[in-house]
Structure 1
Amino acid sequence: MADLFDLAAPMPDPAPRPLADRLRPVRLSEVVGQDHLLGPDGPVGAMLRAGRLSSLILWGPPGVGKTTIARLLAQETDLRFEQISAIFTGVPELRKVFDAARLARRQGQGTLLFVDEIHRFNKAQQDGFLPVMEDGTIILVGATTENPSFELNAALLSRAQVVTLRRLDPADLERLAQRAEKALGHPLPLQPEAREALIAMADGDGRALLNLIEQIDGWQAKQPLDAAALSARLRRRAALYDKSGDGHYNLISALHKSVRGSDPDAALYWFARMLEGGEDPRYLARRITRMAVEDIGLADPQAQGICLAAWETYERLGSPEGELALAQAVVHLALAPKSNATYVAYKAAREAARRTGSLPPPAHILNAPTRLMKEQGYGAGYEYDHDAEDAFSGQDYFPEGMKRGVYYVPVDRGFERELRKRVEFFAGLRAKRRREREAGGRGGRG
């Protein structure tokens, strides 16, 4: 695979430069891991082939080439490249950038404006880009690690195409490692298992990998290091996890769906990933309890209580022992019978309540504490269920003129199997009482 090293040969430079900078690609074809975007069939590749580059939002994790891609897009389309960071740029600086782009345009030179961390601009600042995007003063290329759907306003998103960059997989990182070895002029002093550990430490971040390689090269080790020696000298890159960002929502979604899918091992893995990322166990306790209510319900009536007990146990024990109680609750939920019948019934009942407005309850189930209310017919014809056969009158409790609704349909799993029998029993008994009323001409509503 020696030919891979030739893709980004280092240029002579007397000043010391970080390895990651020395190996920065000089052509889009040298960018690793993003062929789905930059290849001939990818959205960016197709734009370049057609000679029509539009504004882009590059969404992806750190160290996958967002800045490099933006710079090379300007190079390959003969656009003037301007780079700013949303962290350090305010409205006055933006005006200067736009003025310079207008001047360049009058001189026949287009501008590609690369905005790093674009999600850090507020709504007013984001709106400031709209006129210069619409009149062609700039081609905007924004970079963000956060979900654009949450962080960028709709007007900006409507004028730019969002493309997603992938985290680098082990094969991509290995290609970068080989390029680094070519640039350094010698192989890394690592045994095979240590090399694998190095790739894992980078956690999909190419820049992090090159920085780690530079550290290893600085040791000038005489003998190849094994995995244990490497781990003793290098710290694993912290997992990408923002407790208020997209990583947070992705992982809690993965945990929830693993529980719903009855996979205790996957559920424990995502639970552990969130804890390792620094998630507040109290947040996890709340979400786990929600899973019990939403996805298990009455199929296992104990599940909710187990979650609440685990939550209380965590509050009493704290970390790390209390987290074991939460882990036990996760396992119980994953293995419990599943039902969202109550959740579905609740939503259907809410919809019916909104649809029927302010229909009053039927008169026969209204209390009549005063004579006037009795004269108005409140409580007339009410049948006390405990006096009825089987303690079941079978009266209608829906508003006058409203068709009886059926919202709760229990599943044939877990404890809801028994509840299903009861629902069917009372439905049959209700129909029997209705026939008896019709035959006997008794009062009350059937």
Structure 2
Amino acid sequence: MRHGKRILLATFGTLGDIYPFIAIAHALRRRGLDVVIAAPEMHRGSIEREGIAYARLRPHENDIVQALGVDLAGAFRIMLKNPYFILDEIYLRFLAATYEDALVAAEGADAIVTHNLLVGANLAAERLGLPTARVALAPLYVQSAAAPSLTPPAPYILRPRSRWAITFNEMVRFVIRTGVNMRMKRFHAFRTKLGLPRSREDFFLDFGRKNSASKIFGLYSPRFAPRPTDGPANMEIPGFPFYEPRDERRRGLDEALRRFLSSGSAPIVFTLGSFAPQVSGNFYDVSIDAARALRRRAVLLAGPKDAERLSAAVGADEFVCCEAPHDELFPFAACVVHHGGIGTTAQALRSGKPQLIVPFFGDQPDHGERIARLRLGQALKLSSYDLQSATRALAELCDDGYICAARDFALSMRAEQGVEAVANWAEDALGLDHAECESAAAPYCGRV
């Protein structure tokens, strides 16, 4: 590895939070830098199968369910009802453990890249005083009054066209910030225990104030969500974090699925990513009925329990599976129906297909609103996802206007830097010459 320089990447969450950091790791390794990803134990295999070093970062899945006294599905149900669940029951409950693991993982590191919500790892980076970049994987993580995200139940005016509207949004943002900071007492007490100075910085979500990071990257397309004028001064939005997997499990489609895709018209693909299958409800039942009502073929990418149940009821025009790489599957689709996770949204955009987003919680409603605003698809509330509304929306998505807009958007994304911008930052932070390593990485840079 070049000059023996080492970068720690720290992240937490579902696969939608892990894959972007794997993409960053590959970009850094192409520049000759040594990389380790610190993440929960359940993601160790996904990281190591990409040939990337892994370090432990608590909490693990079992830690969370044991602390809550419920099973995994129960934890997800609590999460859907409590918008502060992730902050209160994960990031703050396990703050000390996350901090300790991040310190251990950072031994020998020369720079750190963290998930911007992962307060324990960000605290470790501050304590170590190393060059640090924070990664915001979704626009909602940077709260703006000038260009707000849909943040239920906050009453933002989503398209403020006057000074009055922006002032109103600034008041809404202030209330959200106050509510978040009122829950951060444990965090500030822990900072005091560590001997760190008092700070007015926003440590969970970003509200445009000065921050201690060297750089903040919004890893999504600037056409999907431009940099807000009232956002952090050190923020850059270079594009989505795509990469070509080395893990054989994520390369290529199952032969049975490939035969189905090639045996007829383009199907509608229904998927809930890696999170929502735990709480799918009647999503797949409504989906298969809607496809049949439209006489369209369908692929249902479901969790193991739903897949087993659905497999007994599907006909010749439907295919059910538990796993299929989105980047391989979506190009075969007529359109994609999903929960609105940022990773799934990005892959649907990349494939150039219209989308119907049925959001469950968190940042997902905002992604649905942005897709609808850009005329790249539609969004339906989960409570409104029934046979009539799903059938109507899917019929409208077959319109040439949606199809052409989605195709054009996909083409425009090909020029975006994505994770290469993070690699550029790392070299700058370490005082390395770009030209020396970009020539070696040129065949890979910007690939989507």
TM-score, structure 1 as length reference: 0.28
Question: Which protein, 1 or 2, shows the higher relative CO under an 8 Å CA cutoff with sep ≥ 6?
Answer: 2
Of Structure 1 and Structure 2, the greater helix share is in 1
More strand by share: 2
